[in-house]
């Protein structure tokens, strides 16, 4: 004899009081981030939420501008999300970084292509991966440094995007060192001019407007 259908009334159904806000924040995050694969991104979102880790969420809706020959979906906004998730460590384990990459619905082939620019075994210095990611967005070294500054700065969006000179110099030397056509002496002279400028300001900061100091192009 079949069992009767279970009947529920409003008093029997318990809805956790925090559930509506969780779902509201999740929906807003999905709208801002616009993930290519909602299910994959959602798994990463709730996994990070359960651990209290930074969430894979963009600050705002971003209209991607593909500068690569093939658009892989990687944008400055997604690199900024990864920076929030990884910058608390100097070095990041590659399996963990790859998992975060996949949770942003980015192709693993692009991840491996970035690592091939400066091969490593099981971990990478985060600031170097960020630099490689910015470089892979396309354009010149100047464009890569612009992206680096806009990701690392504490200035409001649309501001001068200032970062400490030492950070700028470290990233610039790293990326320029990967380009065999860029003479080391040119890099040294350029950074010397920038250092003098930053020291004259007493704050040791470099912004977007300083890129062409002592150099016609980067």
For the stretch 185-212, pLDDT in tens is: 999 999 999 999 888 887 889 988 887 6
Q: What pLDDT digit, counting tens, does each position of 103-160 carry?
A: 999 999 999 999 999 999 999 999 999 999 999 998 899 999 999 999 999 999 889 9
Residue 162 within a domain = yes
Q: Are the CB atoms for 161 and 150 separated by under 8 Å?
A: yes
- What burial letters (b/e) apply to 64-80, b meaning 16+ CB within 10 Å? eeeeeeeebebbbbbbb
pTM of the model: 0.86
Structural domain includes residue 184: yes
Residue that is written with structure tokens 């009334």 in the block = 9
What's the CA gap between 133 and 121, in Å, rounded?
18
What's the whole-number average pLDDT of the chain?
Answer: 89
The pLDDT of residue 15 is 83
- Residue 213 structure tokens: 């100091």
Q: Is residue 2 part of a domain?
A: no
What confidence score (pLDDT) does residue 203 get?
Answer: 84
pLDDT at res. 209: 86
Mean pLDDT lowest among 56-65, 84-93, 154-163:
56-65
Q: CB of 75 within 8 A of CB of 64?
A: yes
Determine contact, residues 79/151, Cβ cutoff 8 Å: yes
Output the six-digit token pair for 120. 């490593």
- Let me know if residue 4 belongs to a domain: no
Confidence of residue 82 (pLDDT cuts 50, 70, 90): very high
Q: How many domains does the chain divide into?
A: 1
Domain of 84?
Answer: 67-210
Query: Which position has the higher pLDDT, 75 or 63?
Result: 75
Rg of the Cα trace of the chain? 22
Residue 218 has pLDDT above 60, yes or no: no
Q: Is 40 within the bounds of a domain?
A: no
Residue 105 included in any domain: yes
Residue 32 located in a structural domain: no
Considering the domain boundaries, does residue 93 fall inside one?
Answer: yes
Share of the chain above pLDDT 70, in %: 87
Confidence class for position 217, pLDDT limits 50, 70, 90: very low
Query: Cα–Cα distance between 213 and 116 in angstroms, integer?
Result: 32
Helix (H) or strand (E) holding 124: strand 123-125
């Amino acid at each position: 004899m079949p069992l009767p259908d279970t009947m529920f009334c409003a008093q029997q159904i318990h809805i956790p009081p925090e559930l509506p806000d969780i779902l509201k924040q999740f929906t807003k995050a999905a709208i801002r981030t616009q993930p290519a694969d909602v299910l994959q991104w959602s798994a990463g979102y709730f996994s990070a939420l359960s651990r209290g880790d930074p969430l894979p969420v963009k600050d705002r809706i971003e209209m991607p501008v593909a500068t690569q020959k093939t658009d892989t979906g990687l944008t400055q906004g997604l690199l900024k999300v990864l920076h929030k998730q990884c910058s608390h460590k100097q070095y990041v384990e590659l399996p963990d970084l790859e998992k975060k990459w996949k949770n942003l619905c980015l192709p693993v082939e692009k991840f491996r292509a970035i690592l091939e620019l400066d091969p490593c075994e099981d971990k990478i210095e985060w600031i170097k991966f960020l630099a490689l990611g910015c470089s892979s967005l396309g354009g010149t070294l100047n464009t890569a440094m612009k992206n680096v500054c806009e990701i690392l700065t504490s200035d409001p969006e649309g501001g001068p995007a200032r970062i400490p000179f030492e950070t700028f110099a470290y990233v610039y030397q790293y990326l320029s060192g990967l380009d065999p056509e860029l003479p080391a002496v040119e890099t040294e002279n350029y950074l010397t001019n920038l250092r003098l400028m930053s020291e004259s300001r007493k704050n040791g900061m470099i912004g977007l407007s300083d890129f062409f100091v002592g150099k016609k192009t980067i």
